[in-house]
Chains A and B, each alone.
Chain A
Amino acid sequence: MATSQQQYVGVDLDKNGGAVTDAVVEAIQQDNPGVELVDFNIYVKVKAPQRMIIRRQLVEDILGRNWDLQELHMVMASYFGFIEEWDEEKLVIRWSADES
């Protein structure tokens, strides 16, 4: 087993989400180090090592309109990692293997 590999967290976003998907991708890239994108036809996989944050304010700034984190339900097809926090302001996904 390749257990020495990096642990990634991430989300699969629907590319039909248009400006919202683009803004979420950009916000993730701005806020998180080491972000990788994998294009998958109708989805884009956005992954980052160990931890990922999506902030409402930043998405809103990029999008140029009010944006509620609940709208993520419409474009987030899947995710991997533990959802550590999800409130009005942010979504945090992470693995916690190295804590212990």
Chain B
Amino acid sequence: MTMQARNLQPIRQQPWDWATKNEYEEVTLREQPYIHGHYRNKYYKPDYDIYDPRYTRVRVRDWEAFRDPKKLWYQTYVMTRKKMADEVEALFERAGKLAIYERVDPAWRKFSLAFYTPLRHYEYAGAVQLQHVVRYAMGCPIEQAATYTAFDKQGRAQWLSTWALEFAGGEGLQALQHARQLWLEDESYDKLRSYMEHVLVTDDWVEVLVALHLAIEPILDRLAYEQLNAISIEHGDPVLAELALICSEQVQWQENWTASLFQLIATDPTTSRWDYLKSLGYEDWPGDYRWGRTLSNPKSTPEETLTNQEIMSQWASKWISRAIQAVTPLQSLLDRHGISCAVEPVMERAMASYILPTLEKCGIDVKISV
């Protein structure tokens, strides 16, 4: 009945005046408006526009140029996460039916509850501060990836909670309570908790991404979701190892997209934070008529004197050093429970296999002081 349909000639091949290569780009590019925001913030940074390049110190020629390597948009995001959710639920169901939890080595049982359950706070704090990134980042391509990353973190916080509830059997709620106490009071968590608190008060949204994805996560997530997998199986616990595998799939994606963002920023030689307006087709735009009249002129804010690489190098040095200090004390938790796993080589491997190569691609030097 619709045989001739393909004969209809469209009036344009591309839906938009800006080029798009695929569905992801069609629904992602130019989503955020860049000019003519009506009002300035009433309370937070009252001289700033709703979408303002001054929310970060780094400058980028074209904020729309970032691409998520996985090209996730809403549809592909929920479809892939639905599969993970099904896997996680099936995993817990099988574990219950096969009574796997009862056969887990007692030392590992104690350790894993004490180690993985408090991480729900770590994941959640990351999700909270990513909402800050979602609000203030420039452009949909970047903040969209941050949105899904935040949602993943929230998901992992819930998966860890569910796991603890199941694993601890009738004492599930107490297990969560106890883990919270460890997170707040145990010395092995002191630095990690403090690290996340400092992330929560970090204002520059690019710095938040550096603190999370170039420092603490590459180290801690490798320990939690990779390094301990084999040890978990050795102690008769395949459930946690499988859960960690699913988590690490999310973690790898968050590392990949942030690494390409860091590279995009670090290799951009732009010196004016206003250059991106040209990439949007506003090269002849003289600026908003209100600037200097009813609104303060944002262009009178002095430009940064450091390069993006220098700024990122400061951030990376600061946060990587702190991340190492935050993860090191977890060794005492492992030792206390008689789990033989050395944290330091894990950190070294994280540095060698991910952090340093990423920094190198960015052309960034760091000074790590521990």
Q: Do A and B have CB atoms closer than 8 angstroms in the complex? A: no
